[in-house]
Chains A and B, each alone.
Chain A
Amino acid sequence: MAPETEDPIRRLLAARPRPQLPEDFAAAVMRRVRQQQQADERQHRVGARLVLGAYWLAAIGASAWILGQGPLPEWTTAILWVLALLLVPAGFAFALWSRPGAAVTGERG
């Protein structure tokens, strides 16, 4: 850079105050991380309950409809109820209540 160009730029930039991080910066970040985690958990719980509630209603309705179609062998009915009301919702509950996975991001590491 020619001196006549570089000097004013150096002078202007050198005159600007250097920004400083406060000493408690890491503590402030950790506070916000905790807030973020709490908010995520709240949101996650509400979503999980809504989905699970809807599933239960649908499962009960579907099971009642199937059972209402006609006589089924004893063992079929038992399996149907176990699947509809216990195993599948339990699987959903486990998947939804467990810690959410990492978000998909553009950054590759």
Chain B
Amino acid sequence: MKNLFKTVALAAVVLGVSSGCQKDFLTEVPQDFVSPGIFYKNAGDATAAVNAVYGSFINLNSPLSSSQYMGRNLWMVLEYPTEVVTSRLSATNERSLVDNYHTQFNSAHAYLQGIWEAAYAGINRANSAIEQVPNVPMDAARRDQLVAEAKYLRALHYYYLAGLFGGVPLKLTATSSITGDNLTRSTAAETWTQIEKDLTDAAAVLPAAWGGSDFGRATKGAALTLLGKVYLQSAGTTGTAGDWKKGLDALQTVMTLGYALDPSYATLFNGTNERSKEIIFSLQNVRVDGSGGTLTQWFVPVTSPALYALSQQNQFQAERAFYDSYNANDVRKDGTWMTSFTNAGKLVTWAWTSGIQSATSYGSTGPVPRKYVDLAGASTNGEEPDVVITRYADVLLSAAEASNEVSGPTASAYDYVNQVRARAKVPNLTAGLSQGAFRDSVYLERRYELALEAHGLFDNRRNWTWSKARIEASMSNISTANKSPFTSATTKFDARPLGDKWKLYPIPLRACQLNPLLVQNAGWEDGVCK
């Protein structure tokens, strides 16, 4: 029998196997797609890896769509909770649940899940770049910049996560296996510290400005501005008092980098002034399907005939009390809200009394956003205006806020606010305010200056007592002021008084189901997140 087996082996060797015995006969080499093993080999690959991290804000991993993150839902969860803007939908609509601090709002809300997923998908893109790019043979200086860009972008994703949910799992390595261990939540302080570290690293390497074709990449100013805002958010929400000073330092450094307020407020958001000295970092949109902004259809009013050929949803409208509170000379009122437009050759004018009504769907009962609206977009995700993440007015107001916390309402703190007010054509801030009154005035200034720019909720959380009172007041007032014809006033505002659980959003239910180690935020317990 032994002989027989020898024979078999022999026959295979002698007679057999025309195909030859390559060792790698069973190794798969991708042919019509790119796998990590054959990528990250040169400067072009490294740049492409980092480009995709920028893309993670507007071009999400399939099957996520941009509307689940920056393209809409993040805007909704950051803007609706203020007294500035409302969704105008029925009380139990998922948007109104956010708008109205509704008691039915819970951890299963689809928007929270989408944001969580989208942010971590972006973080994984950043992690891959941060891991792989340092090994790429290329110009070392450029390579370091690429890593720094990725760190800035990772920090931006974490900034939104930490602001919305508090401490989150810190995923800092690229996912390479399906059996990776689940992560636990880090504390809020640990999360802010990690974000600060990424931004500090990035600020040390990134240039103050980029040459022509690289316009739009993250700069030193972008990293420092976000770092300043991160310190403020950390100080305001976790009580790390020392962070006010660190934040002020970072923001004051930004003031030395050549940024300035733009004389024309409205052009910052309409795609015609995207390289303004005021804009520090913005998501780069172009009028190409899939590579542009997506906000127009949610912002423009429902009209017949259609104002906006692609789609019109009218899900952001001004709250009346807030709209009426603008100073009559404030250029920001007209720069932020639209009350008349030309439709099919006819001038349409909105008024509180008549609104803009449509026969087939809900009309507009409040003024609608002007910021980011591009009625000539190539598609519903092909709009021109860049989405401004940080700009110099925010730097000034943030510096005023930090300065006030560090040393009270000093002259420089007043100067920061008054620069912004001057550009808006409104008189200087009342002199001689107390520290508390100055603080509230800065927050109010931020409402006017930064409305519809996705800062509202984070501002609320840094100054919870002030915000809570304003929101509760707005709620009691709004039902008669400009309630939706589709909304029942009696079922709308049932979360009053606002519980403190609203200082954080719940961890998404599905995230908990998939990662049992996640712990739920106080007040949002859902039986799944322990």
Real complex partners, A and B? no
Residues of chain B touching chain A, judged by Cβ–Cβ distance below 8 Å, are none
**Residues of A at under 8 Å CB distance from B?**
none
